[in-house]
Amino acid sequence: MKKLILLIMFCVFLTGCLKKENTLVLVTEAGFAPYEYYENNEVVGIDIDIAREIAKSLDKELVIKDIAFDSIINELNSGKADFALAGMSITEERKEEVDFSVEYAESKQVIIALKNSKIKSQSDLNNKTIAVQLGSVADIYVSEDIKSAKVIRQKKFLTASEDIKSKKADCLIMDLLPATELVKNNPELTILDVELFTDKYAVAVAKGNDDLLIQINKVITKLIDGDQINEFTLNHTK
């Protein structure tokens, strides 16, 4: 009997150890619907569907870490997470810090403002107070290209949208699909008809993590070929 109990305890211990070895840790920022957001206390979204396919292909259990967007690259490089899917745009600067997969989505940066906004063109952004998400491509764009603007950098888009409603900010610059979701839930806000720039999303891994990157590229290529990423997108934008 004693032996049996010991054996069971050993098995439980072993399962615990194996489980850790058998997990794949995703890092993201879950305030970015439809890519990653909370539904019934669970993180879901297009990126999460993709991450699940990647974990499944490796026969690993997916663990999701929701952190600030500007901490994601650090989390990868310190080895605390295996990969990032966060609607992350490929940029030359980020390419120096992480390795990117093949791209899986195209986006563009748009301006959200109150419906009666007088901003009609890119040059109207001069001298305005602009809200962005800290560390996003919009943050870099406003900081480098619209020097006369005052920038409010928020960790969450929700807070940034509150800044427009309370008139602390004249507008918010962010990605098109998440902007569309945000405006759906805030009827006083609108997406302005002004083109800024386009960008492309990819999965990020720590530099040199080639084995994982090859596997991720295989999964993404298969998902794109099978039109599944479009399917995930439709599911999360209903």
Binding residues for ligand GLN (CB under 6 A): 29, 32, 69, 86-89, 133, 136-137, 175, 199
Least distance to ligand GLN, CB of residue 53, Å: 20
Q: Which is nearer to ligand GLN, 120 or 158 (CB)?
A: 158
Least distance to ligand GLN, CB of residue 93, Å: 11
Least distance to ligand GLN, CB of residue 8, Å: 45
Least distance to ligand GLN, CB of residue 19, Å: 29
Is residue 207 exposed (0-12), middle (13-18) or buried (19+ Cβ within 10 Å)? middle
Least distance to ligand GLN, CB of residue 72, Å: 8
Q: Which is nearer to ligand GLN, 24 or 157 (CB)?
A: 157
The three-class DSSP label of residue 238 is coil
Q: Which is nearer to ligand GLN, 68 or 114 (CB)?
A: 68
Q: Which is nearer to ligand GLN, 89 or 101 (CB)?
A: 89
Q: Helices (H), strands (E): how many in the chain?
A: 9, 11
Distance of alpha carbon 238 from alpha carbon 235, whole angstroms: 6
Distance of alpha carbon 5 from alpha carbon 11, whole angstroms: 10
The packing angle between helices 46-57 and 210-225, to 10°, is 120
Q: Which is nearer to ligand GLN, 86 or 98 (CB)?
A: 86
Neighbours of 2 (CB within 10 A): 6
The packing angle between helices 228-236 and 210-225, to 10°, is 80
Q: Which is nearer to ligand GLN, 47 or 53 (CB)?
A: 47
Least distance to ligand GLN, CB of residue 11, Å: 41
Integer angstrom CA distances of residue 105 from 11, 83, 87:
43, 17, 8
